[in-house]
Chain A
């Protein structure tokens, strides 16, 4: 029983970060119909950002998120404006190939600069895990969990309560009708892409103290990210949150009750089953 609760808890902790990455991908897909293969590399960028902050600026990685989220937002604006804008009308497959190229470019650029060495971030306060009710909770993951929840709530509030958020949701539902209602669809696309990039990067900063850093980490993260958004239904924000938590829990239960080496495969098997039998996601809200 204790192992069961333990694996649920660690699953939810990791799942909250998966959810944050997934939300970024899913809003981008919703508004622009881009399947962004470079999304994982934005997470990698955030991880290296956290690493740079603690190594050179001596700033705690969790504090440095205040620095990296705006930078990532700006990078997102630039990528969209100068690289993606002209590609999007060429169709989903061309943008898929284009962002795959972008992903390879970014990952290899970082590989050239930072080399392929595995790096870790060691925090002084992270040595002993917390033990509430006899369940072991690593401190960095607990802090990351809290911050991921705050950021996700803030995003939710933005999408539901503000005018820009409403315009983004309108564009996601029906771009042409939104344009007719006076929504500047192009501006929404820029904001959404930048927002998605900032979320991915922020999740990267939060994940950095709990994972190994290496330049091609984005490859596996982006694959997981597709699993999450397809589970929840492409384009749906609540779906991506649920999908992220679900994948986290499934992986951690799988590691305990099935086998550690195959825990990553479980996610992909579920992914295929959902794609084949429920293409609009487990909750039937996505666009297929």
Chain B
């Protein structure tokens, strides 16, 4: 039964652009999937390891800038730039992890916020490298032929398939991680870090590994963001608001669940983007409201609650 549902979901994922073709809807689905990747990224650290980060925009920004700079300065196409961006984000995560994981709980959260703000200010002021507040812009993407047909980058559908593959990858990676030693270590750390330490888990190493994996996906999503929107600036990709949005997607969907970020992204992004179409500003009002409702009444998140119901 479970396998059939998963197979149907994957089938639906790859046939959706044929079923509905309205550009707004495809844009919406691209946004939902991009936020699924970001939510999944945050969930790997915040859900499984229980380390609340308010600075994940750092990794998104690192991925976005890597992809953009590689393309603009060295001519490396974004589809190579996106995974490289993920790797750069994962590398940046190492020193950040070794510094910030000396702190626990809310103090860790505040330290990631501070690191993210420092990096945003650096990106804003290191003009020779990042072009500062003006941002970076790509006008055309290189030609690619896929099965003998040249891809039309003005159409949204190729982007849909790229992000669909990335999102599937992020969800599969979460599933695999939950089954491995790292997943078990993470849960032990989340439940009681001192006991985890006492039974011989190197908690700093395990947390840094989780952070690095998490940063990889945030970086990949950042690279995709740069390629899809074709414009980035420090306030767009390094802002506190972005970090907070990732937290919300993961928490509202359901922490420590494999499908939670997808559900969180479907609920929040659909409402948010629709709201934005109508009112133009203030689309995050719904994020705040949902967060408060979820923490108060559904601490296991929407998907966590649904899973409990189905389980019974």
**A residues with CB within 8 A of B:** 35, 83, 86-87, 90, 92-94, 96-98, 100-109, 111-112, 115-116, 216, 219, 223, 226-227, 230, 259, 261-262, 264-265, 268-269, 271-272, 275-276, 279, 288
Contact = CB atoms under 8 A, between A and B. Distances in A.
Contacts of A275: 103, 107, 110-111, 114
A264 B121 contact: yes
Identify whether the interface residues of B are mostly helix, strand, loop, or mixed.
helix
A112 B285 contact: yes
Contact of A272 (B115, B281, B284, B292): B115
Contacts of B110: 35, 226, 230, 271, 275
Nearest to B121: A265
Contact of A116 (B50, B54, B281, B290): B281
Nearest to B248: A101
Given A112-B285, A219-B240, A93 B105 contact: yes
B114 A223 contact: yes
Contacts of B285: 104-105, 108-109, 111-112
B299 interface: yes
B291 to A, nearest CB: 3
Nearest to B127: A261
Given A93-B50, A107-B288, 11 more contacts: A92-B106, A97-B52, A104-B288, A108-B283, A109-B282, A219-B240, A223-B114, A227-B114, A265-B118, A271-B110, A276-B102
B99 interface: yes
Nearest to A83: B292
B5 to A, nearest CB: 30
B109 interface: yes
A226 B102 CA distance: 18
Nearest to A226: B110
A261 B133 CA distance: 11
B296 interface: yes
Interface in B139-168: none
Contacts of B102: 276
A223 B103 contact: no
Contacts of A101: 248, 287-292, 295
Interface of B: 50, 52, 54, 99, 102-103, 105-107, 109-111, 113-115, 117-118, 121-122, 124-125, 240-241, 244, 247-248, 251, 279, 281-285, 287-292, 295-296, 299
Contacts, number: 127
Contacts of B50: 93
Contacts of A90: 295, 299
Listed residue (B110, B118, B284, B287) with the most chain A CB atoms within 10 angstroms of its CB: B110
Closest 9 interchain pairs by CB?
A101-B291, A105-B288, A104-B288, A108-B285, A112-B282, A108-B282, A268-B114, A261-B125, A265-B121
Nearest to B279: A112
A272 B240 CA distance: 17
B97 to A, nearest CB: 13
Contacts of B283: 108
A106 B118 CA distance: 25
20 contacts: A87-B295, A90-B299, A93-B52, A93-B106, A97-B52, A97-B251, A97-B291, A101-B291, A103-B288, A104-B241, A104-B244, A105-B285, A108-B281, A108-B283, A109-B285, A223-B114, A223-B240, A265-B122, A271-B114, A272-B99
B282 A104 contact: no
A245 to B, nearest CB: 20
B121 A100 contact: no
Contact of A87 (B103, B124, B279, B296): B296
B292 A105 contact: yes
Contacts of A102: 288, 292
